[in-house]
Amino acid sequence: EPEVTQTPSHQVTQMGQEVILRCVPISNHLYFYWYRQILGQKVEFLVSFYNNEISEKSEIFDDQFSVERPDGSNFTLKIRSTKLEDSAMYFCASRAPGTGGAYGYTFGSGTRLTVV
Amino acid sequence: AQSVTQLGSHVSVSEGALVLLRCNYSSSVPPYLFWYVQYPNQGLQLLLKYTSAATLVKGINGFEAEFKKSETSFHLTKPSAHMSDAAEYFCAVSESGGFKTIFGAGTRLFVKA
């Protein structure tokens, strides 16, 4: 069964450093997403990406965050200057083309980001 | 704007007992509704979805959910709990044509032997 692959599974970084979280969505999917889950809290929407541009973003997704699909297969989330409160599990998801939001997502296993 | 409320952050049942996890939604247009399951240290896996076809939706692992428009609910049930069902369950909503899915806060299911 096709999978969404995320790397690394765990990353530790110092406050103020830049991090790039990587995702390889399912090959025929066209919609891509980043969500985050702070330990013990809800899954929060960060950003959606379609047709090589951001289609929607939350208020969490400020100027410190950016996304890119550099080569047609990878989908990356960059945090320019990490803060302690960025520590969370970050999930990438993709979905197949279809009717609006009717299709569920396929999620990756997540990257646990720890900012120290 | 759409939102999801899951009643009960923790639910505990005995093995073999009925599982009922509650979800209420708010949406300005007919919604698409989902249940996801998250096992420890893993990602989210789609259990089932409602997309305006049958109101009773069957998913994987014996789970099902019923869409009740009058109650704005989409509760998840399973007739007989198994130890392997212990996990966190998230109800989620998206709108037709929308680009994002909104998740509830999650309900952790404990299954006692």
User: Rounded to an integer, what distance in angstroms lies between the CA atom of residue B9 and that of residue A42?
Assistant: 11
Instruction: Kindly state whether A43 is in contact with chain B, defined as any CB-CB distance less than 8 angstroms.
Output: yes
Buried b / exposed e over A49-58, threshold 16 CB at 10 Å, is: beeeeeeebb
What would the two tokens of residue A30 be?
């066209």
User: Rounded to an integer, what distance in angstroms lies between the CA atom of residue B81 and that of residue B20?
Assistant: 10
Q: Are the Cβ atoms of B43 and A91 closer than 8 angstroms? A: yes
Buried b / exposed e over B84-110, threshold 16 CB at 10 Å, is: ebbbbbbbbbbbeebbbbbbbbbbbbe
Q: Are the Cβ atoms of A100 and B96 closer than 8 angstroms? A: yes
What would the two tokens of residue A11 be?
């990353």
Q: Which of residues 70-109 of A touch B (CB under 8 A)?
A: 91, 93, 99-109
Q: Which of residues 92-111 of B touch A (CB under 8 A)?
A: 94-106
Mean pLDDT (whole number) for A44-62: 93
DSSP letter for A99, please.
Answer: S
Alpha-carbon distances, residue A47 vs B40, B69, B76 (angstroms)? 24, 29, 27
Buried b / exposed e over A78-109, threshold 16 CB at 10 Å, is: ebeebeeebbbbbbbbbbeeeeebbbbbbbbb
Residue of B nearest to A57 (CA): B100
- Identify the band that residue A102 occupies on the pLDDT scale cut at 50, 70 and 90: low
The torsion region of residue A78 among left (phi > 0), alpha (psi -120 to 50) and beta comes to: beta
Q: Return per-residue pLDDT of chain B as tens, 113 residues.
A: 788 999 999 999 999 999 999 999 998 777 889 999 999 878 889 899 888 778 899 999 999 999 999 999 999 999 999 999 999 999 999 876 666 888 999 999 999 99
* pLDDT above 90: residue A101: no
Of residues A26 and B97, more confidently modeled: A26
User: Rounded to an integer, what distance in angstroms lies between the CA atom of residue B96 and that of residue B28?
Assistant: 11
Q: Which helix (H) or strand (E) holds A50?
A: strand A43-50
What would the two tokens of residue A71 be?
């080569």
Q: Are the Cβ atoms of B103 and A45 closer than 8 angstroms? A: yes
Instruction: Kindly state whether A9 is in contact with chain B, defined as any CB-CB distance less than 8 angstroms.
Output: no
- Collapsing DSSP to helix, strand or coil, B67 comes out as strand
